[in-house]
Structure 1
């Protein structure tokens, strides 16, 4: 079973690398360094899974001149794939305009780690075995070997998780690209779980506690990690042709209906308080489907937003951006600032307090050029705004801080004269 999963994951990773290469060649797109790192990393991942399969390990025991040499080569190849992942994270949009020095540093750390692992394995003087962790996991030198290996893989995957969203929050991002990235993140999560099971096995050898990890950690998780990563990175290439088939449209129609229903429920949380204040924007239609209703409510929210513009507090977006934990260009920060503007404008509209036009230009964090061109992308953005408008503590703080106060009367009474 372990051999089947390992070889299947290696085959999927190789197929994903070939798919990315052919997609770049057929479409005429330039072969960028990021794409080259991605293809090379997928090939290294396939090689690491092939070398780590039990059948390959048993075959290597017959011919290897140095004990556990195949194990060392497989681990170093896996670290090479992680190094490609670090290079991809470094070349993410907005990360570094000149990433060559950082990539060189990552490569130097990779080479130093591979050399340290080779020296530690040679100094440990181990005998050939297919159960490397369970046999030598209690020795200090092997523990250091495993720590270098697991630490480098964890660092690479965590870096991609932290910086990888930059790839898919660019203006050209599509829903298919976001879905592919979610699959890649799910595959990396399986990689985290696999490293955790290996750490549990080593801890059990040191302590003698009966806390051995389940067998799924060594059999299913590595192949599942590679399969999900391969499917995720190649998702934008093979999914669009599949969606154009009649069978795929029939199968995905219920999912599309569910997405529309969820988006309609979220957008309605923002639509209801706005149309209560400005009911004139609502168009009465007798028969209307869910998709049409969703897009109508998006248009009506934008109409109300235009009417509330004179009432928006000039500092609303600045206060919301100051309390946001993410970058100003992040999608969540943009939605938070837009929700703050709507909230203060709605409060001032109810109190009938227009804001004077500020002399200095106001910083506007809401950049609608980042939102996709499709109506559903606009609805998805407004759903994020609605969640922030309804549940965010930052919005509640902005509304309390910038709550409109009743205007004092400027008329004075004439003094009484006797």
Structure 2
């Protein structure tokens, strides 16, 4: 019922949004003399603020058309190379000479946690300079008809395995935040099965491998409330006339409310500053605000079964670090991983995945040789800074690139016979 009321309110405000948009155009038109006065800019700013705070933000595009490889500018195009109802696998094809030595293949697994994969645009832009990059483009659950079936955490693990098999041997995988658990599980399952398409390396960044270590507010909420509370309070059905009508989901607008409430004062200040930038005709600062919030406010629904199973497995039961996580009737055993190199990255000020939560993967993957594992903690960055921003580009990316180069895959170098080593990283 709440989802239906939300949609009804959104529809009811449509005429007001249209009027506000018209007022903004009128008072920002340079042919209107009033647009050059503080009063005119204030009216236009107020109208834009109203329209932006009541609109639904569409899925953004990656918009990556060019990159620099070495010292040359290279054209980039997007191509879907693998497709299933809940995910497209996008390849960022670079127009490189065929005679050039091939770069490593990198599968970036984007989080399915409310925002679209375009939140990792900066991550992709940095990595396509060094690798042949593929990224998971997860679907908005409300756009997937119920006839396409369910999607839960086990399906997520299966999708990762299938994508790695599609890309072939010696593929590197990078998991940003939430997918660290299913990516580690996929690697463990593939190694246990002797799958030759297991990744050459996996980079886990700011992921909740073991949320018992330095629990954050998010972790504590999940433990305190329990899975029944989430099932009763945040799960809703997609309203008509969306393609996913009647599908049970965790709605994007609820997730966005949670995101913003964690740093509400910061968002209020940002919008106040945006208004003043418009009044002062500071176009560059206003445009930066638009770019950030066009991305941040674009959210997607998650299937109820995926969301609830993830909360229960990762945040309530801590199934992976306890050795209790199951996949299709098989126990997920990270100690089965022997040939997949492991790099973990954390942020000093991360308030989503606390320090030590990602590094815990090294304790679980105890049979990875010491020369095939590394851990890095980036000073002075929060959660977002682990995979984006200036420090990510200058300090984290070079470490990831070097790690992939040092671990090209079982098919490209002779590795020593695996042995049990200390779990300290």
| TM-score under structure 2 length normalisation | 0.24
| TM-score under structure 1 length normalisation | 0.24
Bigger fraction of residues in strand: 2
Bigger fraction of residues in helix: 1
